[in-house]
Amino acid sequence: MFTKDEKAVSLSSEPTDEGPVIASGVITAASSKQTDEVTSTQETKCCVVGGGPGGVMLSYLLARQGVTVILLEAHKDFDRKFRGDTIHPSVLEVMAELGLAERLHQLRHTKSYGPTIQTAKGPIRPIDFRRLKTEFPYIMLVPQVDFLNFMVEEAKQYPHFQVRMGALVHDLIEADGVVKGVRYRDENGIHEVQAVVTIGADGRHSRIRHLSGFEPIKTSPPMDVLWFNLPLLPEGPPVQGLFARFGVGRALILFERVDHLQAGYIFTKGHYQELKAAGLDALKRSIVEIEPRLENHLNSLKSWRDVTLLSVESSRCPRWYKDGLLLIGDAAHVMSPVGGVGINYAIHDAIEAANVLTEPLKLERLETRHLRQVQRRRQWPTQFIQGVQAFAQKQLAARVLNSSGPPKLPLLVRWLLKVPLVRDIPARLIAFGIGRSHIKL
């Protein structure tokens, strides 16, 4: 694949916000053939690149229907720090449709029935999932590593499923403009997977998207987030699942986890270096200004290594497919963290892809129009929710972050919270989104 100097791809077992470490050198099919030999070739109906929520769910669903699928994941395990652990009611309903909900709930988890927002006049609960008609009126907080391991173990029950860990895909196999599979590198060398369809489920920095020549349209939400863990101490604020409090130009959110608190410090986009230069103690002081009850908790933050930056972005590809290839999840569209819906949208893409592609793959009649159909069905719900997120960012986040005094909830939001017919719209949108998919096969 590479000349010796071009060994551009390296595997890192350290998960980073950037995904697996992929150096910047350009890898071409031509250069690959010159030096590194392909040590093995496998054939399958579907090759899924990326073992995040979208890729793992699609692999499970196809294998369940008897479609051969090979899942390639660059990391050697599914452990990820702060990649989102939220499973929303719409996905829980799908898990019930698959007969997996009960076993999923046996994993260590907590539940959030809606955020408690601490205001100067006391706590308010603007969103209450318990008012929704669903068997699962809550967001389940389960470590993503546990969810992914759970789904992969379930998938392994099907003989049509194979997974390769530590398999970093670096190249597409193409003939006459049609994608025919991928090449990946692992500890043993370079391997080929030849596939009827290749799925790029390799996240926000998707290499498959890059190799396909697709360029996402990006918007830049006004904030970034620092994630860190804090201990559970008796004197802390009453988190009750999910807690939020606004400061001057800053906001804090807390998730109640089984044995700790997960904290998100929200600040104006692009100010990370400034924050870091001011030092960890200044960050802690700023957090205590927002929520004084966290003073003792913050002793556990020892260095910037305990803090993970989420550079917030929102994007979508105008096109998710080409002959032999489909993008899903973050590879096709990165969702803003408003509402924490990224995982759910990746999973719903996977469900729709399985609904549309299973029969054509089984009957060996897959055409590009099927791939187009997946984009058509998933694009408008994604676009709609991204619009809602942009509105929420403008109404709430930008106001809080630009405030020079204690921020107030905007009049429109306060009004919405009182109108019975409309007050549950935000809860419904977060819990179910729109155009949600169900298991058809």
Ligand X SMILES: Cc1cc2nc3c(=O)[nH]c(=O)nc-3n(C[C@H](O)[C@H](O)[C@H](O)COP(=O)(O)OP(=O)(O)OC[C@H]3O[C@@H](n4cnc5c(N)ncnc54)[C@H](O)[C@@H]3O)c2cc1C
The residue ranges that bind ligand X (CB under 6 A) are: 17, 19-20, 49-55, 72-75, 82-84, 86, 168-169, 201-204, 207, 227, 308, 310, 329-331, 335, 337, 340-344, 346
Q: What is the largest CA-CA distance in the chain?
A: 70
Decide: 22 and 207 in contact? Cβ < 8 Å: yes
C-alpha 29/C-alpha 34 separation (Å) is 9
In the block, residue with structure tokens 């100097």: 5
Give me the least distance between CB of 411 and ligand X, in Å please.
29
Q: How far is the CB of 99 from ligand X (least distance, A)?
A: 22
Name, in order, each residue with C-beta under 8 angstroms of 301's C-beta and a sequence gap of 6 or more.
228, 230, 280, 283, 284, 307
Q: Which residue has the tokens 């270096």?
A: 273
Give whichever of 272 and 295 is closer to ligand X, judged by the CB atom. 272
> Min. distance of Cβ 367 from ligand X in angstroms?
24
- Cα–Cα nearest to 244, from 100, 97, 373, 400: 400
Minimum CB separation from ligand X for residue 203, in Å? 3
Task: Name which of 242 and 298 has its Cβ closer to ligand X.
Answer: 242
Secondary element (H or E) of residue 211: helix 207-212
Task: Report which DSSP code applies to 36.
Answer: P
Which residues have C-beta within 8 Å of that of residue 318, sequence separation ≥ 6? Answer: 214, 217
**Token pair recorded at residue 287:** 């957090």
- In the bound state with ligand X, the residue whose beta carbon lies nearer, of 82 and 321, is 82
The CB-of-415 to ligand X minimum distance in angstroms stands at 28
Comparing CB distances to ligand X, the nearer of 104 and 341 is 341
Rounded to 10 deg, the angle between the 89-97 and 425-432 helix axes is: 50
CB of 209 to ligand X, least distance (A): 10
Mutual orientation of helices 342-362 and 53-64 as an angle, nearest 10°?
30
User: What are the residues whose beta carbons fall under 8 Å from the beta carbon of 6, sequence distance 6 or more?
Assistant: 25, 27, 31
CA 425 from centroid of its chain's CA atoms: 23
Q: How far is the CB of 125 from ligand X (least distance, A)?
A: 19
The residue (of 118 and 262) whose beta carbon lies closer to ligand X is 262
Tokens at 32, concatenated: 């690959």
CB 340, min distance to ligand X, A: 4
**Residue closer to ligand X, measured from CB, 18 or 367:** 18
Instruction: Considering the complex, state which of residue 153 and residue 235 has its C-beta at the smaller distance from ligand X.
Output: 153
Query: For residues 196 and 201, which CB has a smaller minimum distance to ligand X in the complex?
Result: 201
